[in-house]
Amino acid sequence: MTALFGTEYFGFIVSAYGVVTFVILALLAWVHLTYAARKRDLAKLEQAGLKRGSQVDG
């Protein structure tokens, strides 16, 4: 590990890991926010009297 800190590529490696970490966290936040919005939309539709196809008694 100490040999890694002395290389000229250390800055590139750290910044690459930083960018990947940021992108993954941004994607997770986007999925979470989208999921919450869809869940709210479904709740509004069900409150208005619409049912999901999987919940209709047949």
Span 16-49, pLDDT tens digits: 999 999 999 999 999 999 999 999 999 999 899 8
pLDDT value at position 8?
84
- Torsions phi, psi for 9 (to 5 deg): -95, 0
**In contact, 10 and 4? CB cutoff 8 Å:** yes
Model-level pTM?
A: 0.68
* pLDDT average, residue stretch 6-12: 84
pLDDT surpassing 70 at residue 7:
yes
Which residue has better confidence, 54 or 8?
Answer: 8
pLDDT value at position 19?
98
